[in-house]
Amino acid sequence: MTTIKDVAKQAGVSVATVSRVLNGNGYVHEDTRSKVEQSIRELNYTPNEVARSLYKRKSKLIGLLLPDIMNPYFPQLARGVEDEMQENDYRLIFGNSDEKKQKEMEYIQTFVQNNVVGVISSTNDPEADMYTGLNIPVVFLDRTSNDRPSVFADGREGGRIAAQEMMLRGSKEITVMQGPADVRPALERFEGAVEVLEERGAAYQVLKTTSFSLTDAEGFAYELFRQYPDTDGVIASNDIVASAVLKEAHRLEKRVPEDVQIIGFDDILLSSLLAPSLSTIHQPAYEMGRAAARLLIELIEGQHIERSSIEFPVEFMERQTTRKVES
């Protein structure tokens, strides 16, 4: 590897001068500057970020922690974060937490050990010591925190909308699927839906689920129609689960949306491709990722922060698993 010393020798100057050229600070004579730049080009030199990071005690690295990149919702967040970071010359150290505290801690620790300058995390416990004790900025993505920077969608409102649309379109026996209890956004959606149902005195049932994986989802879908064969409206905890419900409804030869309406959550790629296509609550995941990255960069670079919590609105995507509303 070529080092700053090689460049200095080649250009006939000291390492300090090369460093000044590199960073564009201090005085450097124009002729010297060109000589150094030429040597840099000739030797194809790029500075070692590790050495820089050690002295300055900060790197150009960001830690990104998501529950599971295989869940189709998260790649959109990840890509939003990556694009924004890439454009601002930051790089990502990436890890999957599986919503497990242990893995989360391990990652946070190695983030710190590698001098990351900021962290973006989807955690269910923003108040955990591993976060409150960090002395670098953290942005919580897809998760709410009262007093710490976060970027999230209005899950409660999403749940409310889902329930309203369900009732508006004529479902009388609604089943609300409650996602994993320890996953915050899942809980909020659920609460939002139940709120509306209670307010209006509607009949509804709850089916608790414990995971978002497809194989598990198929089991929940089976269970749903076994326990509540007469349900005519299902508010699913996300689009994966909704897909499984749709598939099971087909298997039972129920007509969708005539016999049973289904509303999902997230609006992943899959949703628009299903037949019938899935009505769902859209979250602007890619934009949320970008926003989280922008916010983190502002925090890192110490600019004035307007709002340190950004809530994105959600939107009902009317597709084919809900009935048309007569106008």
**Burial tier of 7 (Cβ tally within 10 Å: 0-12, 13-18, 19+):** buried
Q: Does 4 bind DNA (CB under 7 A)?
A: yes
Could you say which of a second copy, DNA, none residue 273 binds, taking C-beta under 5 to 8 angstroms by partner kind?
a second copy
Looking only at residues 44 through 73 of this chain, which bind a second copy when binding is defined by CB under 8 A? 46-51, 53-54, 57, 59-61, 64, 68-70, 72
Contact 276, 117 (CB under 8 A): no
112 near DNA, judged by CB under 7 A = no
According to the binding rule CB under 7 A, does residue 40 interact with DNA? no
Which of 34, 38, 42, 51 binds DNA (CB under 7 A)? It is: 51
The order of strands in the sheet holding 174-178 is 204-208, 174-178, 233-235, 261-266, 279-282, 315-317
Tokens coding 205: 């049932």
In the complex, what is the shortest distance from the CB of residue 16 to DNA, in angstroms, rounded to a whole number? 3
| Selected binder of a second copy within 33, 35, 37, 94 (CB under 8 A) | 94
8-state DSSP, 119: E
Indicate the Cα dihedral angle 133, 137, 142, 145, nearest 10°: 50
Tell me: does residue 270 bind a second copy (CB under 8 A).
yes
Single-letter amino acid, residue 136: I
Q: Is 249 helix (H, G, I), strand (E, B) or coil?
A: helix
10 counts as binding DNA under rule CB under 7 A: no
With binding defined as CB under 8 A, does residue 132 bind a second copy?
no
Residues 223, 275: Cα–Cα separation, whole Å: 22
Q: Which among 8-16, 26-34, 151-159, 246-254 is the span making contact with a second copy, rule CB under 8 A?
A: 246-254
313 binds DNA (CB under 7 A): no
Q: Which of 93, 134, 202, 252 binds a second copy (CB under 8 A)?
A: 93
Work out whether 203 is an interface residue with a second copy (CB under 8 A).
no
Percent of the chain as helix, strand, coil, to the nearest 5: 45, 15, 40
Residue 206 near residue 176, CB atoms below 8 Å: yes
> Closest approach of Cβ 64 to a second copy, in Å?
8
Of 243, 208, 247, give the one whose Cα is nearest residue 228. Answer: 208
CA atoms of 268 and 149, how far apart (whole Å): 25
CB 137 within 8 A of CB 80: no
Residue count, binding to DNA (CB under 7 A) = 31
**Which residue stretch of 49-57, 104-112, 188-196, 273-281 sits at the interface with DNA (rule: CB under 7 A)?**
49-57
CB atoms within 10 A of CB 271: 24
- Which residue lies nearer to DNA by CB, 41 or 307? 41
Contact 281, 313 (CB under 8 A): no
The residues binding a second copy (CB under 8 A) are: 1, 46-51, 53-54, 57, 59-61, 64, 68-70, 72, 74-76, 78-79, 82-83, 86, 91-96, 103, 106-107, 109-110, 112-115, 214, 240, 243-244, 246-247, 250, 269-270, 272-275, 286
The residues binding DNA (CB under 7 A) are: 1, 3-5, 12-17, 19-20, 22-23, 25-32, 45, 47-48, 51-52, 54-57
